[in-house]
Structure 1
């Protein structure tokens, strides 16, 4: 974060009023993040919007007041490049889904300056899709992932005439993103992809971690037998 942005934040945040008195701007992993330093974020699906189309020199101090007109912002994340400029898009999470939809209705295809914005509900993807032709690879991953507190569900599929597929569902999108990054780093593989909804329709369900028993590679086992 440049020193200019740090200096500027103090005044413009105060001008937003009492609702934002504990908010700060911090930099983290290529993002400028405007959020409540003392609050707990509600990451319910449908509360976040994706906004794109503004100039790369647009600052977070310009974006926050625009999106705050809609309702109380929980978090605004401005994506940055290595040179310290924005990538021209951000994510805004509101207190509830109604506010997020209102932001879409008000700002999508509307003009700010001479730029046309794209604003839509963010796809809050909390699931990864892992494909492998190796039974042992998938078995090992299941044992590993069952120990992760951020993982809420594991679903194993047989993809007709090809490989096995494991859907890993996490508590939040952030958990899923961090989980994917950790898996790629650990296994040095690109098989950990974001789940595509249409894929499940063509797959044969073999196992669901929330069921007490399942068919695991041709054997009927209980959940406890995999621990």
Structure 2
């Protein structure tokens, strides 16, 4: 279609519908309605359309998707040649209309032999911010972000499990819209902006799974966080039963958070109202509803970042098919092993026992940032992946301690002209396998940063954490004895395809 013919068709479309069409930042927006009043449609009203032929435009798409319900806005991604980029987003006025569009138009044959894919869009409004000073409070982080970027509505900060006076050096910032989050992500590019005098890492947070509101009304499980490590499930159960003056089904506590199962929804509502922000063992507890989740669908969503993005390792046809199957069934696992999801990073420590050597244990997309960053750096420069060596000890009281030794074999360009080994370096004693893994990765990242600052000084560099055992032999201190040894290959994190926002 020539440009003049397309322009004429789009003009007729605007006259017929009363919607404006504006092209900006690589996308063409149709809508919103001129007579629209009030806030935009809520989250869950936007769908993603994939596999569009390059010559399909709004004059064909709007009538097709308007058959299902009223369109609030359509965003068609465009390239410099004037063709579309193969995908678009449509926002309906209600969540029911969006769900109906997925059911009716996913797989629609828009051209002979060409079927489009229609799935729910992951309308991500949350950013992950790493490398935050450990002494900063939630209020300080909120005020700092608010002074830098617009649209910040909330900050979620997790305290250190073992030192409640410090944070875990990362936070989540929630924004009023996906666009506001995208603009903030661009403004806070590492290297251009420093917060509190140091560089921070800013990226899309893992999108939380969308759960139908009708299903959430039937949830009888609460997610509570910020518990002290020493607080027992029995103590939590006693406090919650005392608040509602009734028995509760069970409590499952994992490190500093817990899932509380009730027999009756009204009991859960009463407990949340009475115990929100209560102090237990000196720590203020935050409570929200646990989200039931389809594990397979959640796994697919966790492989993506931002707004309806798909991983290259997944075939798009397969991904869309899985979305179709699970959204059509709308079945959520109610088994005893699945407590639900309280937060995007709530399940950080639930990857299984460290002694479980099955490969699935290590395919954990909730890993903190340091191991991911190290793997990505090795992939980028074609270095061999890091080697981690773990040892578990028991102290005289029977408590488990973990030590990790890590090395980078054959590190070459751009640090060295001839490949060299870096390491091994050994961490301090850690409370868990996961903590040892993260601290080992942080140690190597610190060493690489020092090398990058002055490549000429290639002398041995001390790691971030002073080793408590010898890096070469991992000798056991006098007050502990060795129980097991293992070498763990960490899986490579897949590359993510990220279409522009």
Q: TM-score range by the shorter chain?
A: 0.7 to 0.9
1:67-120 Cα distance to aligned partner (Å, 9 max, x none): 111111110000112222111110000110000000000011232112111111
Tell me: CA distance 1:34–1:200, structure 2 relative to 1, closer, same or farther (3 Å).
same
Unmatched segments (≥5 aa) in structure 1:
204-227
CA gap 1:160/1:53 in 2 versus in 1, 3 angstroms: farther
Question: How many angstroms does 1:177 deviate by?
Answer: 1.4
Give per-residue Cα distances to partners, 1:179-204, cap 9 Å, x unaligned: 2122228528782111114423327x
Q: Is the 8 A contact 1:43 1:172 kept in 2?
A: no
Answer with 97-106 or 40-49: which moved more. Answer: 40-49
1:144-178 CA distances to partner (integer Å, 9 max, x unpaired)?
Answer: 224465211101235789x6111001122122112
CA distance in 2 between counterparts of 1:175 and 1:79 reads 18
1:94 to 71, 92, 95: 92
Instruction: Confirm whether residue 145 of structure 1 aligns to residue 145 of structure 2.
Output: yes
From the superposition, tell whether residues 190 and 64 of structure 1 become closer, same or farther in structure 2 (CA, over 3 Å). farther
Corresponding residue SS for 2:87: strand
Gaps of 5+ in 2: 163-167, 209-343, 350-501
Partner of 2:188: 183
- TM-score in terms of structure 1 length: 0.74
Provide the rounded CA distance (Å) in 2 between the counterparts of 1:155 and 1:178: 19
RMSD across aligned C-alpha pairs, in angstroms?
2.9
Match of 2:27 among 25, 28, 31: 31
Aligned to 1:172: 177
Asked which structure has the greater RCO (Cα within 8 Å, sep 6+), the reply is 1
Distance of aligned partners of 1:26 and 1:149 in 2 relative to their CA distance in 1, 3 Å threshold: closer
Equivalence for 2:80: 82
Task: After TM superposition, list the pairs within 5 Å mapping 1:1-227 onto structure 2.
Answer: 4-15=5-16, 20-21=17-18, 23-36=19-32, 38=34, 39-40=36-37, 42-113=40-111, 114-132=113-131, 134-135=133-134, 141-147=141-147, 150-157=151-158, 164-184=169-189, 186-187=192-193, 191-196=201-206, 197=208, 198-202=344-348
Which residue in 1 is equivalent to 2:297? none
How far apart are the structure 2 equivalents of 1:102 and 1:119?
Answer: 11
More deviation, 66-75/174-183: 174-183
Is this contact kept in 2: 1:159–1:202, CA < 8 A? no
Q: Which has the higher strand share?
A: 1
Structure with larger Rg:
2
Structure 2 CA distance for aligned equivalents of residues 55 and 152 of structure 1: 38
